[in-house]
A and B are shown apart, each in its own frame.
Chain A
Amino acid sequence: MVISYLGMETVETEVRPEIRIILKTDQKMIDEVIVVGYSSEKKSSLTGSVGIVKAEEIAQVPVNGVDQALQGKAAGVQVTASTGRPGAAANIKIRGTSSISAGSDPLYVIDGVPMTSADFASLNSNDIEYMSILKDASATAIYGSRGSNGVILITTKKGKSGKTNITAKASFGISTRTLTDDDFTMMNAQEKLMYERQLGVGRGAGMTDEEIAAVRNVNWADEVFRTGFTQQYELSISGGTDATRFYLSGQYYDQEAIVPGSYLERGTLRANVEHKMSDRLKVGLVSSAGVSKEGLLRNDRNALNPFNYIYNAQPYDSPYDEDGNYNDDIMVGGNPINIFENIENNPTYINKLKIIAAFNLEWKIWDEIKYTTVAGIDFTQNLQYQYNYPFSQLSIILQPDASQPRGFRSDDFAQRASWVWSNMLSYDKTFNDVHQVKALVGMEAQSSHYRGISASGEGYTSKDVDALDVAATNYTIGGTTTDWRMLSYIGSAGYTYDSKYIIDAAVRWDGSSRFGTNNQYGTFWAVGLAWNISEESFLNEVSWLDHLKLRASMGTSGNNNIGDYSAQGVYAYGSYNGGTTAYPGRLPNPDLTWEKSRQTSVGLDAAFFDNRLNVTFDLYKRNTTDLLLDTRLSMTSGFSARTDNVGALMNKGYELGLSGDVFRNNDWKVSLNFMISQNKNKIQELYRGNDITLGWNNLITEGQPINIYKMVRYAGVNPANGDALYYTKDGKITNVYNADDAVVLEGKTPDPKYFGSFGASVSYKGIELVADFYFSGGNYIYNHNRYFSESDGGLASNNNQDKSMLYDQWREPGDITNVPKQSVGNTPQMSTRYLEDGSYLRLRNLTLAYTLPKNLLTPIKVDRLRVFAQGVNLFTFTGFRGLDPEVGDSPGGSGAGAAGAVVDFSFPAARTIMFGLEVGF
């Protein structure tokens, strides 16, 4: 008797009255074929380090962006939400920070079309079949040009021949703040008034106990945060015949954030079609369109940022008066603005349209030789709307004179249209069953065109009439146009002997319009080796070892993320007294060329005990040279800087992934997984050894990791007189704060020293329980919120203060405390007092799902019915005192610091609970 089952090794046994047969997973059968560049490869034949994240894993986490769903899913891939705002992109770093100025974002390629990460919010993550994350030189070589930060390839669903599958899914949920009442340590009205009385400032000065007790307390965290409602509906239809396969889908997604004024509403459509015209000719089209609308808030210390109010609004000020109208005398950020009135009367949002489509054709000219072409477009259009209603408080502040036109309207329009066209000839033949030879040559051309237009006007009469045309006065316009292009030639070859020994090599010449005419082209190469040890005959008898493979690779890749015209010497134009001016705007640099990174990586993949334990381990070292940096020039030249190839840095680290179905039988399955990555970064060389200061407290300096903190060290409180103490540069204690005493803080950077995830999945019959934890640690965050809320009295009259200012303050000689003597004369200072360890552990995802048994569904003609409940960010364990330890914001734009270095009233992550239903026909 022969027993066989798909994906299991076939078993032959004699027939007996009662037999018990355990089928073993067939390693060869589940060897997936995955997209790794311009071609697909079997996973076993890869020499590079490639992480795979499958549809199920993405679907598990109900977040609005595909990028955020990647968190904790692939070793060495650090995913940090930039903010908790719905629609915000995540910061993704693969194997550390490899560039100082040319960006650390990986290259994203969806179905062969390169795209930018900021557009993920317009994609339906359920359309994705899997993502391949290419991490080392061998894997990224074929994308050499821009592969230095790694490559994330996204493959969307294509449909299967056979019965047409219809899946409908609906889910609903709520989002709430993660901040608990215990975490919220700002003073209440009574505490603040007592504190003000003590200092003799503000409303509390001179109040009696009775008067203070009678004041109504307002908890601004309760006022600002709300419960947001999320709903999501989607329908997908897939199927086909032997010749034609298709996948169609549509989704509607509507999410309210945890604060008013912020939301994401999105609709997406997708049509993927593939048709075999003959055995040798295949054509296909993948296409998607997404439209979205996102409500926008202000950032930082802006008086229009609601998170500012949680800390800075006075607890005795109420947003509403007794009649429920907005109070208009709340002072935050120096202006009398009511945030809720502002959100209602000054709407700001952005409309996005995203279209990605690619036509592809595959022609087997002969059995061994295949021609493939992909022609794709990536089109993005963003239109940002702002209207300050003429009667809004903000409009009145901006134009106090009621006889003058009030109300402000602006539109910002930005459109990027890109096309890519690649042509490949590939050769694949196996000789004598054991010698497999592969080769590929090809070219790729890309062109991208950007146009931005902005317009604004002032002077409106009604909130309903908002056309720009109607504005009475102060018209402004702006506009920019930029282009870049790339032209690349690719060649690769590989040889495999008997599925055991694999060697491959690739080379790529890339030309970028951004570089100098002498150096537009860069050459990138890679060599990879792999040994499938488990295929060796001497291991055939080792039953506990299912699979063992060693990998090694070395190669180079490049980065061209600089301004589109940085190499060109140009004249720029301006005006003087109404006449045109023309002046030298930039020095030419005809030698400007690619930033290069050279990576060496070794890895191991193994599976033991019938796949109960899978191990993946990688070691890597990556040197980036020719960093694209601004060099300082003698200003006597008329210029202060020029972009040049200078400097070097290094990243090294390891990634370890463990997973396995530790227990399984007919009813039960228990899987565990664990992943950890560590990366060390070091700046090796800078232009003339000059340090680069970033924001308030970050430094790029030779011999240290990138963005290390440089700050004045806080030395606590003098018990004798309550003075705040600091260390001088030389380590002496002083009560005088001097910014020149800032020193490099060894080992303290905004980048985590380690991060990873662990989780478990338990299923019993149709019931499934999945829990994923994410951890990240060893990083430091400057908590700028505390600069305001722990000001030692200096900001007491305008800002609410932390309870510790009242209860833990130094009062008399001998008091041992960390909170100095309180006085309105104090000035808050940036020091290590506000620098905090940002380590955290978070229950990222908890899912409980039940799939109804088939026998119940067949009578009602339903194939599949699944109900589920999901929780995101249910618990967070951290010592960090901000609203959220997941800080990915790049306040560099506002001059504050490196990504993840500063919490400045940032938008925190939400806790989300979703319930859903999925039906398949």
Chain B
Amino acid sequence: MNILKKTIIPAVMILGLGLSGCADFLDVTPHDSQDSENALVTLTDFDNATNAVYETMRSSSYESVFLPQVGDIMSDNLVMNPGGRQIYNEFHSFRFSATTYGTAGFWSAAYNAILSTNEVITRLENREFSADEEAYGKNLLAEAKALRGLIHFDLVRVYGKDYKSASETDLGVTYKKDCETTLPSRNTVREVYGWLVEDLEDAFSTMTDDYNADINYRLNKKSIAAELARVYLTMGEDLLAVQRATAAIAGDGSDLANASAYSAIYNGSMKDNPEVLFRIALLASDGILPGNEWGQGTSSSYTANYTVPLSFYEMYADNDCRRQMIRTMPNTDGVDCNVVWKWNGAGQTTGLVDIPVIRTTEIYLTRAEANYNLGNYPDALDDLNYVRRNRYANYTDGTETGSNLEAAILRERRLDLAFEGHRFFDLKRRGEDLVRSGDGHLADGTGTPSSVQNVPASSPYWLLAIPQEEIDANDNMEQNNY
């Protein structure tokens, strides 16, 4: 009793009333995340941070649904099925607003990915590399810069005017080079292209040939060159486009999938396919099935959200291996439609397919188009024929010249890149009007045609709206004029 009173209790009292001594009592940290200051230490950490850029690009708001789908929805390659989910219908009719579903998602995902690139770039630029980490570190830095350029290119071609028609003052997007939380305004289209070319060229010149050379789910020197070719073609810098395209491809057609290997591109993983220069890899555990967004159902009863207009379907010749990417099958209402079958995996209705962001075919056709613009017609025809030999059965080389050659290059480009999100951007960069065929959504061309048939190149709706959430949060952010 006395011990209790004289020793234990006073001891407990002093201990208790004086718990203030434990200054770190309130320091509690999460178990599933790391505080930002200590998160990036080793180069493996930086590799993981670079990997995160691809993870963000994989989101359905970006590469796995939004860009591949909206790029064709806002074109003459698709017509909406009124009995489908009507997803992105505002984009199909060019009547979207700043609050239309998808607008904020893409903007947000792109800048979220850019933050990851800047986390890597700003920290690695200030890092003193030790001898054994120098090569790896510089390659990671190059990869992050290339990604920063690539994502800003996607942003500026969605929200800004085409480079060639943009004035000195026309607004592009904010080019983000830091990790700060600020309220920035938009840079001009010219500024954005200047910086993104700088980033991509910097990456191209500093990345070593062997880095990521045997994988295509992250950028390597070849795919950076391909991205640069794409950028230069958009900018009208045809000579540079030819140069970078040449660095990206074999140049003799050997890296094109031939007619019999073509369907294999879309049957599951694009891992070892030389045709695919850069893909976004999808695993079953990611829970993303791109085919689901094009339409749902079984192979006997399917509801497509968008169908292929008859006149476009008929552009695919019988000996064209790409014709199998479209199927005529009954929709849930029992009537036949031509539906896109590119995203349905190995015969599944909603399949798991990687996203082919850059294929060699695109780069051959890019080089062909740039060479045509430069007046190098034989080179242009060669590249076009490489592609056609690999797409048409029993193909005899074409001999087009002049404007027929240009038309043939563009026709092949539309046929090959259809349903992968290119058509809108090709029309936009060439300043062409969108002219839809008037076909309805059904297989025989009847049914409901698109509510908007013609969109002149002068329409402000070639620029998507800056999301309202951004405008509300940021007084410095200017909206496009509609």
A interacts with B: yes
Binding site for B on A (CB under 8 A): 277-278, 281, 361, 363, 371, 373, 421-423, 425, 441-443, 445, 480-487, 489, 511-513, 520, 564-565, 568-588, 632-640, 642, 688, 690
CA gap between A442 and B326 in the complex, in Å = 76
Q: Which of B49, B58, B184, B281 contacts A636 (CB 8 A)?
A: B184
Can you name 7 A-B pairs with beta carbons within 8 Å? A570-B30, A571-B36, A576-B217, A587-B181, A636-B474, A637-B181, A642-B181
Given A281-B5, A373-B12, A487-B25, A636:B36 Cβ within 8 A: no
CA gap between A277 and B1 in the complex, in Å = 9
Contact B469 A632 (CB under 8 A): yes
Chain B 377-413, CB within 8 Å of chain A: the 1/0 string? 0000000000000000000000000000000000000
The 6 closest A-B pairs by CB, nearest first: A638-B115, A423-B16, A571-B39, A583-B52, A570-B33, A581-B52
Contact B36 A584 (CB under 8 A): yes
Contact B36 A574 (CB under 8 A): no
CA gap between A585 and B39 in the complex, in Å = 11
Given A570-B33, A570-B36, A637-B181, A489:B51 Cβ within 8 A: no
B450 in contact (CB, < 8 A): no
Within the complex, the shortest CB–CB distance from B77 to chain A, in Å, comes to 29
Given A512-B26, A576-B52, A637:B180 Cβ within 8 A: yes
Contacts of B283 in A (CB 8 A): 577-578
Q: B118's closest neighbor in chain A, by CB?
A: A638
Contact A443 B26 (CB under 8 A): no
Within the complex, the shortest CB–CB distance from A742 to chain B, in Å, comes to 14
Q: B12's closest neighbor in chain A, by CB?
A: A373
Given A489-B20, A570-B34, A584-B119, A371:B13 Cβ within 8 A: yes
Contact B26 A579 (CB under 8 A): no
CA gap between A481 and B33 in the complex, in Å = 11
CA gap between A715 and B119 in the complex, in Å = 55
Given A361-B9, A636-B174, A576:B51 Cβ within 8 A: yes
Contacts of B470 in A (CB 8 A): 634-636
Contact A581 B12 (CB under 8 A): no
Contact B16 A582 (CB under 8 A): no
Q: A582's closest neighbor in chain B, by CB?
A: B48
CA gap between A633 and B55 in the complex, in Å = 22
Within the complex, the shortest CB–CB distance from A369 to chain B, in Å, comes to 11
CA gap between A278 and B2 in the complex, in Å = 11
Contact A572 B32 (CB under 8 A): yes
Binds A, one of B104-112, B138-146, B361-369: B104-112
Q: B107's closest neighbor in chain A, by CB?
A: A635
Given A583-B56, A638-B112, A564:B20 Cβ within 8 A: no
Contact A640 B108 (CB under 8 A): yes
Q: B28's closest neighbor in chain A, by CB?
A: A513
Contact A565 B472 (CB under 8 A): no
Q: B281's closest neighbor in chain A, by CB?
A: A577
Contacts of A640 in B (CB 8 A): 108, 469
Contacts of B240 in A (CB 8 A): none
Within the complex, the shortest CB–CB distance from A487 to chain B, in Å, comes to 5
B31 in contact (CB, < 8 A): yes
Contacts of A583 in B (CB 8 A): 49, 52, 55-56, 112, 115-116
CA gap between A567 and B80 in the complex, in Å = 46
Contact A520 B30 (CB under 8 A): no
B29 in contact (CB, < 8 A): yes
Q: B466's closest neighbor in chain A, by CB?
A: A635
Which positions 5-29 of chain B face chain A at CB distance < 8 Å? 5, 9, 12-13, 16-17, 19-20, 22, 25-29
B182 in contact (CB, < 8 A): yes
Q: B285's closest neighbor in chain A, by CB?
A: A575
Contact A513 B33 (CB under 8 A): no
Q: B477's closest neighbor in chain A, by CB?
A: A634
CA gap between A723 and B141 in the complex, in Å = 64
Within the complex, the shortest CB–CB distance from B223 to chain A, in Å, comes to 15
Q: B217's closest neighbor in chain A, by CB?
A: A577
Contacts of A485 in B (CB 8 A): 25-26, 28
Given A575-B55, A635-B104, A511:B477 Cβ within 8 A: no
Within the complex, the shortest CB–CB distance from B49 to chain A, in Å, comes to 5
Contacts of A511 in B (CB 8 A): 25-26
Within the complex, the shortest CB–CB distance from B187 to chain A, in Å, comes to 11
Within the complex, the shortest CB–CB distance from B466 to chain A, in Å, comes to 10
Contact B56 A513 (CB under 8 A): no
Q: A447's closest neighbor in chain B, by CB?
A: B25
Contact A635 B108 (CB under 8 A): yes
Within the complex, the shortest CB–CB distance from A738 to chain B, in Å, comes to 14
Contacts of B469 in A (CB 8 A): 632, 635, 640
B473 in contact (CB, < 8 A): yes
B137 in contact (CB, < 8 A): no
Contact A520 B5 (CB under 8 A): no
B35 in contact (CB, < 8 A): yes
B133 in contact (CB, < 8 A): no
B232 in contact (CB, < 8 A): no
Contact A639 B181 (CB under 8 A): yes
B3 in contact (CB, < 8 A): no
Contacts of B27 in A (CB 8 A): 513
CA gap between A588 and B39 in the complex, in Å = 13
Within the complex, the shortest CB–CB distance from B211 to chain A, in Å, comes to 16
Contact A569 B35 (CB under 8 A): yes
Given A571-B36, A578-B283, A639-B181, A634:B25 Cβ within 8 A: no
B176 in contact (CB, < 8 A): yes
Contact B281 A634 (CB under 8 A): no
Given A513-B27, A565-B29, A583-B52, A363:B5 Cβ within 8 A: yes
Given A485-B25, A635-B469, A585:B52 Cβ within 8 A: no
CA gap between A586 and B29 in the complex, in Å = 13
Q: Which of B32, B34, B281, B477 contacts A576 (CB 8 A)?
A: B281
Q: B38's closest neighbor in chain A, by CB?
A: A571
Within the complex, the shortest CB–CB distance from A141 to chain B, in Å, comes to 20
Chain B 91-117, CB within 8 Å of chain A: the 1/0 string? 000000000000010011001101110
Contacts of B48 in A (CB 8 A): 573, 579-582
Contact B114 A445 (CB under 8 A): no
Known: A635-B104, A636-B174. 8 other contacts (CB 8 A): A373-B13, A481-B31, A481-B32, A487-B19, A634-B473, A636-B111, A637-B182, A642-B181
CA gap between A569 and B48 in the complex, in Å = 18
CA gap between A423 and B285 in the complex, in Å = 51
Within the complex, the shortest CB–CB distance from B286 to chain A, in Å, comes to 8
CA gap between A487 and B20 in the complex, in Å = 8
Given A576-B51, A583-B49, A569:B36 Cβ within 8 A: yes
Which of B1, B16, B17, B114 is the most central at the interface, judged by chain A CB atoms within 10 Å of its CB? B16
Q: B113's closest neighbor in chain A, by CB?
A: A638
CA gap between A569 and B470 in the complex, in Å = 22
B45 in contact (CB, < 8 A): yes
Within the complex, the shortest CB–CB distance from A741 to chain B, in Å, comes to 16
Q: Which of A425, A579, A638 contacts B51 (CB 8 A)?
A: A579
Contact B115 A582 (CB under 8 A): no
Q: Which of B30, B32, B285, B473 contacts A635 (CB 8 A)?
A: B473
Contact B26 A688 (CB under 8 A): no
Q: Which of A489, A512, A582, A642 contacts B39 (CB 8 A)?
A: A582
Given A581-B52, A633-B473, A445:B112 Cβ within 8 A: no
Within the complex, the shortest CB–CB distance from B354 to chain A, in Å, comes to 9
Contacts of B131 in A (CB 8 A): none
B317 in contact (CB, < 8 A): no
Given A281-B5, A572-B33, A421:B107 Cβ within 8 A: no
Contact A564 B28 (CB under 8 A): yes
Q: B155's closest neighbor in chain A, by CB?
A: A636
B434 in contact (CB, < 8 A): no
Contacts of B104 in A (CB 8 A): 635
Chain B 467-482, CB within 8 Å of chain A: the 1/0 string? 1011011100100000
B204 in contact (CB, < 8 A): no
Contact B36 A690 (CB under 8 A): no
B417 in contact (CB, < 8 A): no
Chain B 212-228, CB within 8 Å of chain A: the 1/0 string? 00000100000000000
Contacts of B20 in A (CB 8 A): 443, 487, 489
